[in-house]
Amino acid sequence: MLARLPLGVPLLMAAGATLLLCLAAQRWFRPRGRTVAKLALVSAGCCLGMVVTGAVQRDWSVAQMLILYSFTLAGALIGLFPSRRLLAAFAEESRRGVRRDRYHLPVRHQAAFYGAVILMGLLAFVLAT
């Protein structure tokens, strides 16, 4: 359904999802330096990798892969929302030099993340075909 729109629309969706990821990382974790710029480059690389994978397999068009990328990234952001304070505390400890052997996320936070990514991935699949 969404894949029938002009290619500019899925491109804007992908750019918007990447922008939201970078803004959320900046606000929640307050990283130093160019970390957010590196995150944007890695996200763009992942998006390009998804598009190339879809083109190589010839099953998915560029628009469909951009829709999948946008929705799963939005699902990841939604899933990270409940654990944002805990992750921000981990980031602050790391900036102060405190190192832990293991960082524990509660099961409900993990379930929220995985559930949101899976649901948004399924919704993307339905809307992209």
Render pLDDT for 98-111 as a digit per residue (tens, 0 to 9): 888 888 889 999 99
Over the stretch 38-84, which tens digit does the pLDDT of each residue have? Answer: 888 888 888 888 888 887 887 788 888 899 899 999 999 999 899 88
Q: Quick one: pLDDT at residue 57?
A: 82
The span from the CA of 90 to the CA of 29, in Å, is 9
Q: How far apart are CA 26 and CA 65, in angstroms?
A: 26
CA count, 13 A, side-chain hemisphere, 110: 5
Share of the chain above pLDDT 70, in %: 99
Q: What angle do CA 72, 40, 11 make, to 5 degrees?
A: 55
Distance CA 29, CA 84 (A): 8
pLDDT over 80 (residue 32): no
pLDDT beyond 80 at 33: no
